[in-house]
């Protein structure tokens, strides 16, 4: 068992009380995913994690962090007692960062955070052991959990930081203390909470507040807010690099040739020309690669080695993964981009759909949420791209109706109240040779449709 934390270290990090001695090998907040040797942390969310302490210990957790006595029969010697479990997790994350030898890269942005994080994981793994956030663990518990899991011998760590409201990025960045901070883009996601794109830029820019002295801020060259972001970074004494397609960007995408299953990108990086062969389709993936290569360069590593490593990057579930699925009479292509949605990411997904050699291109779309009063207009604005690319569009949710009604009648596949209703009707509408893009905000539950379409045997 690899030692992650000893009992003495847990006590010191959390100021907690613990009778047992031992060494844990992992940290879990979900009793269902506990593996032998873990520390289980009883957080409160929709349910109280204390209700699952007994189950976690039965599954092999060595210890459990609690702030009150849990129900059921448990060995009290195995309870790490703290004043508050979320604060305890945060303290453990801070201790994990403080002892780390790893060079840390933080990632935020309106779109592309998780894709960029996963590309960084692949790129840095070519140089040494790399630790990165699991899934989209990018919030007030996800970031400290990632840091608490950071192996002491990791060479690199990649920390994703997300937000829903103003004031959330700064504490995550200060906790992570990245050597490199990346802002992928400034879009309109969460504009309903923040009120304006300028406020979003200010919030994303708060990653600068936590970057280690002498570190580097990697900023989006294509953003109208670049001057303000550069001024903040330089005012903090940081080095600045830019990424994107704008002329003068330090890491610049100068050409991109798309294919159905990937693409070839030409990127210039401080005068060096790099060719990337990408197995994940979409110009947006090549744009994210610019930020990745800038980070590699900023850490003094070889960009050509990273560019070669990125051949192995593929899109993950819910983020553009492709499957052949069974439909009546044959098979179809499913593009699973269901995890989340914003105007920019929908347009990127539609571009991937357009590149598919399909008999029909079908867009299955759920509401983009947290847009406030701009929601109706932003949904309707997608009609221009949808008209050019799609043969049929199926929608669910009240906001998506604004897109649906802006389409010609021949392109309207159907509008449904929610994803469950759409999932029940969609399979009968699909034909062999179709390419189907599924996209929508997490709260629109488009994963229900993915589960329905992949319930039968997949071709691949």
243 closest CA partner among 270, 221, 227, 228: 221
Supply the pLDDT for residue 190. 72
Give the CA distances from residue 219 to residues 95, 121, 188, 323, in Å, rounded to whole numbers and listed in that order. 28, 19, 17, 34
DSSP type of residue 44 = B
The helix (H) or strand (E) run that includes residue 354 is helix 343-354
How far apart CA 419 and CA 211 sit, in angstroms, is 41
Integer Rg of the chain from CA: 23
147 with 175: CB under 8 angstroms? yes
Supply the pLDDT for residue 95. 98
* Alpha-helix residue ranges (DSSP H) falling in 214-338: 226-235, 283-298, 303-309
Per the DSSP assignment, residues forming a β-bridge with 296 are none
Q: Give the residues of the chain that fall short of pLDDT 50.
A: none
Supply the pLDDT for residue 306. 98
Supply the pLDDT for residue 1. 58
Q: Is the Cα torsion angle 142, 148, 151, 155 positive or negative in sign? A: positive
Q: What is the pLDDT of residues 122-163, one digit of tens each?
A: 999 999 999 998 877 999 999 999 999 999 999 999 999 999
Supply the pLDDT for residue 46. 85
How far apart CA 201 and CA 394 sit, in angstroms, is 33
Supply the pLDDT for residue 457. 53
Supply the pLDDT for residue 455. 86
Supply the pLDDT for residue 423. 97
How far apart CA 115 and CA 118 sit, in angstroms, is 5
Supply the pLDDT for residue 187. 81
Q: What is the pLDDT of residues 187-212, one digit of tens each?
A: 877 777 777 998 899 999 999 999 99
362 closest CA partner among 428, 458, 284, 417: 428
Supply the pLDDT for residue 456. 59
Per the DSSP assignment, residues forming a β-bridge with 112 are none
């Amino acid at each position: 068992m690899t030692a992650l934390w000893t009992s003495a270290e847990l006590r010191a990090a959390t100021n907690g009380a613990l009778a047992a001695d031992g060494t844990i090998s992992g940290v879990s907040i979900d009793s269902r995913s506990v593996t032998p040797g873990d520390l289980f942390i009883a957080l409160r969310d929709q349910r109280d994690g204390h209700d699952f302490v007994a189950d976690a210990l039965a599954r092999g957790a060595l210890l459990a962090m609690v702030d009150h006595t849990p129900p059921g029969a448990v060995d009290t010697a195995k309870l790490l007692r703290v004043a508050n479990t979320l604060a305890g997790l945060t303290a453990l994350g801070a201790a994990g960062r403080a002892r780390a030898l790893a060079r840390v890269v933080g990632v935020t942005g309106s779109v592309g955070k998780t894709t960029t994080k996963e590309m960084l994981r692949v790129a840095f793994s070519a140089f040494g052991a790399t630790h990165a956030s699991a899934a989209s663990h990018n919030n007030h518990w996800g970031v400290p959990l990632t840091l608490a899991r950071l192996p002491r011998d990791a060479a690199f760590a990649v920390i994703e930081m997300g937000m829903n409201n103003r004031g959330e990025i700064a504490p995550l960045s200060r906790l992570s203390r990245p050597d490199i901070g990346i802002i992928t883009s400034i879009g309109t996601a969460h504009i309903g909470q923040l009120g304006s794109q300028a406020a979003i830029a200010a919030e994303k820019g708060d990653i600068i507040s936590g970057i280690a002295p002498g570190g580097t801020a990697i900023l989006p060259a294509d953003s109208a807010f670049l001057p303000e972001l550069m001024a903040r970074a330089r005012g903090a004494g940081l080095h600045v690099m830019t990424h994107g397609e704008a002329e003068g960007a330090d890491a610049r995408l100068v050409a991109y040739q798309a294919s159905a299953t990937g693409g070839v990108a030409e990127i210039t990086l401080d005068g060096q020309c790099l060719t990337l062969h990408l197995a994940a389709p979409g110009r947006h993936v090549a744009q994210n690669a610019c930020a990745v290569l800038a980070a590699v360069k900023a850490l003094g590593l070889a960009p050509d080695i990273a560019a070669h490593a990125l051949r192995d990057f593929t899109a993950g579930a819910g983020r553009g993964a492709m499957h052949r699925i069974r439909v009546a009479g044959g098979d179809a292509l499913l593009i699973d981009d269901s995890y989340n949605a914003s105007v920019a990411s929908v347009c990127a997904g539609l571009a991937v759909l357009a590149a598919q050699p399909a008999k029909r291109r079908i867009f299955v779309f759920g509401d983009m949420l947290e847009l406030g009063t701009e929601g109706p207009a932003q949904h309707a604005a997608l009609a221009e791209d949808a008209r050019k690319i799609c043969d049929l569009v199926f929608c669910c949710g009240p906001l998506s109706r604004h897109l649906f009604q802006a389409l010609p009648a021949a392109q309207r596949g159907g509008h449904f109240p929610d994803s469950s209703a759409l999932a029940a009707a969609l399979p009968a509408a699909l034909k062999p040779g179709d390419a189907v893009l599924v996209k929508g905000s997490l709260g629109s539950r488009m994963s229900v449709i993915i589960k329905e379409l992949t319930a039968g045997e997949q071709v691949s």
